[in-house]
Structure 1
Amino acid sequence: MNGHAGPSNGATPSGSDDGYASQSDPSTSTGPQINGYAQPPSIYEAHNGDIINHLFHAGFQTGNYSDTLLHVRATVYRLHALILSRSPYLAHLMSTTPQTSNQCNIYVNLDHEPEVTDEGFHLALAYLYSSAALANVRPENARSVLAAACFLGRMDDLCDYAYEMCRMSITLDSLPSWLEFLDSVAPPSSDGSSTPVVDQHKHMRMAVFGPYAQRLRDDIFNFLVVRLPTLVNFGGQATPATPTTPHPDGSSAPADTGRETLLQVHARVPFELFKAAVESPSFNLGSTHARFKFAKDAIELRKQGIARGAEETVVLAFGGSTQSTGVLVTRKMRRRQLYKIGDTT
């Protein structure tokens, strides 16, 4: 170790005063047994809290007595091998990196992990020292924190906390950003006439989230087909306790406005999600013909944007499975026109 205080580790996350709250939460509700006598909880709770606060403030925030320099992008952290070893990824880096002058330099490569931002990585590192880092996890950075926690490994509590905040942050206002994310991690798809091409960058971007990638997909799908129609009062089925889309004058959105909102949203949805939503029995669009008309109107809007270069169609399909909604959506990529060599017409 270097035996002296170093510079502060990284920048204080935005949106807070000193960056973090104090950590003093006890892990149990009864005192330990010492020489056969139960000790008052206040003794060990205060002692454990003091140790964690010291490790966090003197260790992580100021880098005192560090024995490991962690390099990530443009930031260098002065940290401690014993704490970093809580992460399997960092433990492996330290065990395979030679030490010089009683100090280890490790380099974390995030070039292929765009979901792991500097702020997200900072908070995940902070959580290795103390749960005080949770005070700075917000809807705006929760997805990056989730990615960083999954990347470092063995941080299930932080992953669950960040995931839950992500799930709760899916709203009509934030939906465009979630749809962009969904498209970036979407699995390869095909219209059935060709073999899907695997985009390695998309695959790697999805892989960092592990099982949470599918859970987030399911949450976005549930918002589109279950929650959103209720929020915009589609079909006028909202109850007095159900929030509706407000107008500037404070009134609720009428049914036709709700339908228009749904159309505008589904005009920007990636095809596989659009198809699954329209064909889902959970998407309460009324009768089969109402579902067909909705899909047809949405496809007309999609032609002007996200579906350019493709032919999307909707057909009525009667019979078959009892779970069928009677509507099928298909897609075929348009082929480029071929020209003969030397053709000048």
Structure 2
Amino acid sequence: MNGTAQNTFGNGLQNGSVDVNGAGSSHESPEHQQATSSAPLRNGFPGNHNEEIVEHLYQAGFQAGNYSDILLHVHQNMYRLHSIILSRSPYLAHLMSTTLQPGGQRAIYVPLDHDREVTPDGFAIALGYLYSSASLRLIHPENARAVLAAACLLGGMDDLCEFAYDVCRRSISLDNIGSWLDFVDVPEAAPGSATPIRAGTPMRTGTPMLPGTPTLASPPPLPQPTSLFGLYTQRLRGDVFNFLVVVLPATLDLTGANEDPSEPSGRDVLMQVFSRLPFEMFKSAVESPTFQFGTDQARFKFAKDTIEVRKRSNPRAAGTEETVVLAFGGGNFGGSAVHVTRKLKKKPLWKVSS
């Protein structure tokens, strides 16, 4: 620890000790001690001492990049940063310790070009949080999920993760539900691979290395989009599900007639949203006891109409046949008399004449 007797610098002087000229003394004159002892203390320090240091680190260190000792390249951007601050992140600490440097100023490369969840804005906010909590002021509903993704990737930012997650949870709405449905959708497996990927996502084949670029001896693996969020994945899935079966139906008029024929009714809006759901989420939502949609007959009719829309507009339904049944005589499935099933369509049999 700096300042202890066991820890000395190369010049033989302990940090804070007195040299032959008395410079650098950790002891001050009685007059100075008396002058400072009367200053108001805050958390044991005079005035806003800690806050001023953190603000200086954020403005001069992160924003301006003064006195940097390392370059960080990500998303076609370059940051002039400081290794001691970056070491707060387990991911970046590992990257720095395993990057072979050919000489000159140290540099590390974070390969995120094909990761949709970690955006440049989200990564910059998480990076700035290593210096100061001032980054929290930059989080809003449009970038909160990207900040959460970046914070989960870098690690060591539990407070930032919770803050960004809370913004995400409170921002789920009808206007952005499409984006959240893409998030909760189950990734598809790549042919011949056990690693799930999203449809349309470019395969990561490695970061192109330019001449003179440091190489990674042991690059930390980059998680897939949903696994990147760790435990927050399931929490966000639960929040989206709660919005679909509780919040959204409560905000829509599902029973009254639409006064404006040119506008879709509340039932039609809910049907369009449910038509986009992955099958397992659609099934769970329709069968959920918390899904308040009138009588069992009304819920059955809603599910049946939604399945018809899914057949026409949902590419996931291709090759499968979804049906809904209504149980009579008191029988129910998981607390609901409405039960949704899915089976593969039978392939047509062709008769070959001899």
Q: Which bracket does the TM-score occupy, shorter chain normalised?
A: 0.7 to 0.9
Q: Is the 8 A contact 2:300 2:326 kept in 1?
A: yes
Residues 160-179 of structure 1 deviation map (CA, whole Å, 9 limit, x = unaligned): 11111111111111111111
Q: 1:330 to 1:66 in 2, by over 3 A?
A: same
Q: 1:232 to 1:330 in 2, by over 3 A?
A: same
- Aligned equivalents of 1:125 and 1:247: distance in 2? 49
Q: 1:293 to 1:136 in 2, by over 3 A?
A: same
Residue range with higher mean Cα deviation, 197-206 or 75-84: 197-206
Query: Residue type matched to 1:62 in 2?
Result: A
Deviation, 1:36, is: 10
- Structure 2 residue corresponding to 1:205, chosen from 220, 225, 235: 225
Answer yes or no: is 1:298 the counterpart of 2:318: no
Q: Which runs of 5+ in 2 are unaligned?
A: 1-35, 199-222
Instruction: For 1:123-142, list aligned pairs within 5 A.
Output: 123-142=125-144
Q: Is the 8 A contact 1:67 1:103 kept in 2?
A: yes
Q: Is the 8 A contact 2:254 2:266 kept in 1?
A: yes
Deviation, 1:151, is: 0.3
- Structure 2 residue corresponding to 1:280, chosen from 276, 285, 288: 288
- How does the TM-score come out when normalised to structure 1? 0.74
Q: Is the 8 A contact 1:116 1:147 kept in 2?
A: yes
Q: Is the 8 A contact 1:98 1:104 kept in 2?
A: no
Q: Is the 8 A contact 1:302 1:308 kept in 2?
A: no
* Count of aligned pairs: 285
Q: Is the 8 A contact 2:188 2:196 kept in 1?
A: no
Instruction: For 1:1-345, list aligned pairs within 5 A.
Output: 40-41=41-42, 44-99=46-101, 103-111=105-113, 113-183=115-185, 186=186, 200-202=196-198, 204-235=224-255, 257-306=265-314, 307-318=317-328, 319=330, 323-334=334-345, 337=348
Instruction: Compute the RMSD of aligned alpha carbons.
Output: 3.1
Q: Which has the larger radius of gyration?
A: 2
Q: 1:104 to 1:320 in 2, by over 3 A?
A: farther
Deviation, 1:84, is: 0.3
Deviation, 1:198, is: 5.5
- Aligned equivalents of 2:195 and 2:278: distance in 1? 16
- Aligned equivalents of 2:294 and 2:174: distance in 1? 22
Q: Is the 8 A contact 1:145 1:162 kept in 2?
A: yes
- How does the TM-score come out when normalised to structure 2? 0.72
Secondary structure at the aligned position of 1:208 is classed as helix
Query: Residue type matched to 1:200 in 2?
Result: P
Identity of aligned residues (%): 56
